Amino acid sequence: MKKIILTLSILTIGINFQSNACTNYLITKGASTDGSTMISFAADSHVLYGELYHWPAATWPEGAMLDIYEWDTGELLGRIKQVRETYNVVGTMNEYQVGIGETTYTGRSELRSQPGAIMDYGSLIFIALQRSKTAREAIRVISELMDEYGYYSTGESFSISDPNEVWIMELIGKGGTISLTKDSLMTEKGAVWVALRIPDGYVCAHANQARITTFDYQAVNNWENPNADVFNAPDVISFAKRKGFYAGEDKDFSFSDVYAPVGFGGARFCEIRVWTMFNQLTEGMDEYWEYVKGHITHPKEHIKGSPLTPENFANNRMPLWIKPNKKVSVHDMMMFMRDHLEGTELDMRNDIGAGPFGLPYRWRPLTWVVDSVAYCNERATATQQTGFSFIVQSRSWLPDEIGGIYWFGVDDAANSVYVPMYSSITEIPETYATGNGAMMEWSDNSAFWIFNQVSNFAYTRYNLIHPEIEKVQSAFENEFIYFTPAVDAGAMELYKKDKDLAIAYLTNYSVNQGNSVVYEWKKLYQYLFMKFMDGNVKEADPGKQNPKIKQPGYGEEWYRKIIKETGDQFKVIGSAH
């Protein structure tokens, strides 16, 4: 019976992490090679279509209302009051170089539903970007929207950046909680939350597991204090005590351990993606290897149904942020997003699930059962079900119209290209635009479908086909990075004369690069299909009708596995070599 309960528990974790499993890496100014701030994000949903959103700047009439649609489902949740002015937003970055990323961690089951709430996590992101000029302002907008309209989604971690600061904000709704007033019972609105500024020179990460533990509680948020590095809901601790979630001193309260205690799935499927980035940037991460494999330790076992105390908190967790031993470039960020646990004992290229061609992917479900025992596939940063991913880069030494770059790619990051989209642009490349295709609607000039053609073909013989993709990918991205200073300089010359001319120039550049990459990716698919069709590897033989052909087969190691499993079933009788 114990084994069956464990199985069901792990399967439940697996289902939760499949729905909105994303990865964020956060880089402060002092930790980057050029003094920019950066955050990354991968939208790893099996049903999210990869497209580049755009909300133009606008002025709204008095009394205007805004319809709120849930990002995940498109369901109309309600309407809210519109503000007088909204800002230009490209993807999840606005014209003031404010960027937001997110990861869903779900959290306590009793807090997952809030009657009457209409602000889902996606709406919080996009509305905050339309109304905020700094990361701090975005945090305040998010908190005020939740207070006024309720919080519709489950637990979320947000990455919020501007040209000078990077913040992590974690929140969870109050569920269907009832508050007793003098005259009546009423449902509590909103969420409990904490936001911390990442110290300059440090890097942070989160990946579908709440990570903020203890913090310097603020009885009142001093929004106007430029030195403030903590903001929080006033009842973030008292709510947990009132609900019976926590018993202990306020100074020992841990947001993550109380509202989203880490379990096997939170470590093995989520925290391991934080570890892979930290491990590349600092020494000593081996100390946390057993933790991210799912071996979590506690000073004292928690008795189910009783309040948590600090003795029940996990005591082998990773730090929230680290000081890297080298500066991080935008190219480094691209490569962090392409990690498959390479070089670790869980390297997915090396077990039988990789097949004969070293495939570093596993088809879902994330967990599976054989003989009533639960097992799991690994969940790496790069994954096949990514709808889109990005790197927000904000540069304080340039005007906002030029400083913000939204490096955007669709589909699996390991087989995609990050294309620079300046955050002030007023048009989106047709190939990436919203409405050009959908998850069940094909479009021949949709970036999402073109990139999926290439990546899914690569999955058939990854160790042969992916290196070909990598060459073209690297050529594009290296060129974009190399020419960025020249593009900036051209925009600056125009900016001195006319700001609008600079924006038009950057719009033209971004649109052209985006469309050009997709058209070249179409050609890449044609080339790869011809070269690797039918299990062969073909190369043109100049002057001859037929190409040169190789038939690499499955490789000796895999043939030995076949023999081990089948014995003499395939043996050629009388053969001698």
Q: What is the pLDDT of residues 325-363, one digit of tens each?
A: 999 999 999 999 999 999 999 999 999 999 999 999 999
Residue 389, number of CB atoms within 10 A of its CB: 28
Shared-domain flag, residues 154 and 270: yes
Give the burial string for 299-325 (b: 16+ CB within 10 Å, else e).
eeeeeeeebbbbebbbeebbebbbebe
Whether residue 477 is found in the same domain as residue 354: no
**pLDDT at residue 20, rounded to an integer:** 57
Give the pair of three-digit tokens for residue 381. Answer: 């940063």
Residues 87, 453: Cα–Cα separation, whole Å:
35
CB count in 10 Å sphere of residue 229: 15
- Let me know: does 202 contact 321? Beta carbons within 8 Å: yes
Q: Quick check: is 139 in a domain?
A: yes
Tokens found for residue 130: 């339309």
- Among 306, 158, 185, 314, which Cα is nearest to 244's? 306
Same structural domain for residues 142 and 232? yes
Residue 565 lies in a domain: no
Single out the residue in 376, 411, 432 at which a domain terminates: 376
Last residue in a domain, options 376, 410, 428: 376
10 Å CB burial of residue 476 (0-12, 13-18, 19+) is middle
Do 475 and 331 fall into the same domain?
no
- Assess if residue 104 is contained within a domain: yes
Task: Check whether residue 17 and residue 117 sit in a common domain.
Answer: yes
Assigned domain for 294 exists: yes
Query: Does residue 540 sit within a domain?
Result: no
Q: Give the number of other CB atoms < 10 A from CB of residue 447.
A: 31
* Residues 6+ away with beta carbon under 8 Å from 2: none
Split the chain (577 residues) into runs of 10 and give each run's mean pLDDT: 34 39 95 98 95 98 96 95 98 98 96 93 98 98 97 97 98 82 69 98 98 98 96 98 96 98 97 98 98 97 95 97 98 98 96 96 95 96 97 98 98 98 98 97 98 98 98 98 98 98 98 98 98 96 95 95 95 78
438 belongs to a structural domain: no
DSSP string, 64-90: -EEEEE-TTT--EEEEEEPPSEE--EE
Do 187 and 320 lie in one domain? The reply is: yes
Q: Does residue 393 lie within any of the structural domains?
A: no
Q: Which residue has the tokens 């003098």?
A: 182
Instruction: Give the pLDDT of residue 156.
Output: 97
Determine the structural domain holding residue 270 and report its residue range: 2-376
CA distance 122 to 323: 30
17/209 Cα distance (integer angstroms): 9
Q: Which pLDDT does position 188 carry in this prediction? A: 82
Q: Do 130 and 215 reside in the same domain of the chain? A: yes
- Residue 79 to residues 53, 73, 117, 145, 148: CA-CA distances in angstroms? 20, 16, 11, 12, 12
User: Can you give the pLDDT at residue 1?
Assistant: 34
Q: Are residues 215 and 71 both part of a single domain?
A: yes
* Number of independent structural domains in the chain: 2
Same domain, 459 and 360: no
Phi then psi dihedrals of residue 532, to 5 deg: -110, 10
pTM as predicted: 0.94
Calculate ∠ Cα 290-291-292, nearest 5°.
Answer: 95
DSSP annotation of 286: G
Same domain, 143 and 55: yes
> Is 469 contained in some domain?
yes
358/453 same-domain check: no
CA angle 37, 138, 36 (to 5 degrees): 10
Q: What is the pLDDT of residue 10?
A: 36
Same domain, 198 and 49: yes
* Nearest partner of 70 among 41, 45, 88, judged by Cα: 45
Report CA 100 to chain centroid distance, whole Å: 11
* pLDDT tens digits, one per residue of 61-104: 999 999 999 999 999 999 999 999 999 999 999 999 999 999 99
